[in-house]
Amino acid sequence: CKGIVDNGHGHNKYDIADLNNDNVIDLSDHGDRYVAGQATPKMTLGSNISFRYKDFDVSLQMNGAFGHKIFNGTALSYLNMSNFPDYNVLAEAPARNIVDQNVTDYWLERGDYLNFDYLTIGWNTPVRNKYISSLRVSFSINNLATITSYSGLTPIINSYVVDNTLGIDDKRTYPPYRTYSFGVSIKF
């Protein structure tokens, strides 16, 4: 897809490239189709890094995926809100809906991401008490940050709602949320 163009009637449509140069856009004959990417990442990453200095410790868990594409079905849905033809929630969207409902590579985005899954900082306090042998205080943040160029809510998706397919952000799953935890561990 080369972009979105006005169809001359106040609506927009996809400007699909004629890949086989027969002057006919026919997506059913495979002549104007091509492989635009893959949903399965070419590389995944997982790491747990821990540091300890005297009575302090820090743990960081990271994960990531690289070399895949995500079909941003959420953006497609919001752009095609037929109930609101003159209003759209996406600032970069055309003023009117797209009347062409073909699925194109217009909605494909790079799915690469690096996610800092959790960070924990702990302190083993010195204890001088005959009833308490150790005391540890910790603070944790889950889903600390995600570095990505994906414009959807999160690139960490698995659309199990739609036939166990990968690579489709279909607006049916809630993105991971950030949590903060404070912990105290006492050994008697």
Here the contacts of 25-28 (C-beta below 8 Å, separation 24 or greater) are 27/102
* Token pair recorded at residue 70: 């995500």
User: How confident is the model at residue 180, as a pLDDT?
Assistant: 97
- Encode the chain (188 residues) as per-residue pLDDT tens digits: 666 666 666 666 667 777 788 877 776 767 777 778 888 899 999 999 999 999 999 999 999 999 999 888 777 777 665 544 555 555 555 555 555 556 778 888 999 999 999 999 999 998 888 888 899 999 999 999 999 999 888 888 765 555 555 677 766 777 788 999 999 999 98
Predicted TM-score (pTM) above 0.85: no
